[in-house]
């Protein structure tokens, strides 16, 4: 049994929140650069250039990349040989978010109730998903998830007969009707299989895969490539002003599913694709 103190968790979450919101990841920067080089639309190239310039300004002035510093989604992988001491694990996560959002001058974007809508004032609660895994480590991933792209996400229960074509149509149509709302170029996270909540969570986990990393199963790697190609022929382009680069990536995650079902979910991620992780 290995002990991890909640103080350490608070500090880690605090730093991850600030870091993820200020520094655009290098893999995202590299892909935006290559998309700019290939973009045929003048205004599209300008937009991609400004996104890169913004990443520089954000980093050097310690300002958030985007004013929407998101709902804080937290993925925990808790080793079964870990013992958390010093208080509640989830309270430590919330406290880390509270401190990070206050000290990092990040926007507080959470309302207490979906209808009464009073801002909680500190971006809590975080939305925490916990997985128990073998080992004696604690892995914390924080995903500041913007509202504009989250609003363009959707889950649907298709039937097995709709098959691969049905899934492809659903995904492509989701991107098409989203237009400029999710701040293209986007990363498209696709969850297929499982149950309703499983495919939705798979789509969320898909958006944090490193750019350029294909699915290990060649069938799904091919699906990712063909979806990306088709999406980039829609003409939407950077910020939907028209152009080639509508998506930076498409990532597919799959699970087994019921004989009656073909669940599919799309989680849209804007070009300000942010997450940070740490292992304690």
Interface residue list for another protein (CB under 8 A): 40-41, 43, 47, 50-51, 53-54, 57-58, 61-69, 105-109, 117, 119, 121, 147-148, 151, 179-181, 183, 233-237, 239-244, 270-272
CB nearer to another protein: give 8 or 41.
41
Task: Tell me the C-alpha distance between 183 and 272, whole Å.
Answer: 9
Nearest approach, Cβ of residue 135 and another protein (Å): 36
Nearest approach, Cβ of residue 161 and another protein (Å): 26
3-state secondary structure 95-110: HHHHHHHHHCCCCCCC
Task: Tell me the C-alpha distance between 208 and 253, whole Å.
Answer: 11
Closest CA to 128 of 215, 204, 211: 204
Nearest approach, Cβ of residue 36 and another protein (Å): 14
CB nearer to another protein: give 60 or 218.
60
CB nearer to another protein: give 53 or 81.
53
Nearest approach, Cβ of residue 245 and another protein (Å): 10
Nearest approach, Cβ of residue 279 and another protein (Å): 29
CB nearer to another protein: give 4 or 236.
236
Tell me if 175 sits within 8 A of 142, measured CB to CB: no
Task: Tell me the C-alpha distance between 91 and 80, whole Å.
Answer: 19
3-state SS class at 173? helix
CB nearer to another protein: give 13 or 236.
236
3-state SS class at 75? strand
């Amino acid at each position: 049994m290995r002990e991890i103190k909640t103080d350490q968790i608070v500090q880690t979450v605090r730093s991850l929140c600030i870091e993820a919101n200020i520094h655009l990841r290098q893999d995202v920067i590299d892909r935006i650069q290559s998309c700019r080089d290939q973009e045929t639309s003048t205004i599209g190239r300008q937009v991609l250039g400004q996104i890169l310039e913004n990443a520089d300004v954000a980093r050097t002035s310690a300002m958030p990349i985007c004013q929407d510093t998101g709902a804080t989604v937290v993925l925990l992988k808790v080793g079964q040989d870990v013992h958390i001491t010093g208080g509640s694990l989830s309270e430590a996560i919330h406290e880390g978010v509270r401190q990070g959002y206050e000290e990092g001058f990040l926007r507080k974007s959470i309302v207490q109730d979906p209808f009464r809508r009073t801002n909680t004032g500190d971006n809590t609660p975080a939305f925490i998903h916990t997985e128990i895994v073998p080992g004696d480590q604690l892995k914390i991933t924080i995903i500041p998830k913007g509202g504009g792209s989250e609003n363009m996400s959707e889950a649907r229960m298709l039937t097995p007969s709709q098959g691969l074509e049905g899934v492809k149509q659903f995904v492509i149509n989701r991107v098409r009707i989203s237009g400029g709302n999710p701040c293209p170029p986007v990363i498209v996270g696709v969850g297929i299989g499982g149950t309703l909540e499983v495919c939705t969570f798979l789509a969320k986990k898909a958006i944090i895969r490193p750019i350029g990393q294909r699915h290990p199963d060649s069938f799904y790697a091919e699906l990712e490539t063909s979806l990306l190609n088709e999406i980039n022929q829609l003409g939407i382009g950077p910020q939907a002003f028209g152009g080639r680069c509508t998506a930076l990536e498409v990532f597919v995650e799959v699970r087994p599913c019921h004989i009656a079902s073909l669940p599919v979910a799309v989680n849209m991620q804007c070009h300000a694709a942010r997450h940070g992780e740490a292992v304690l």
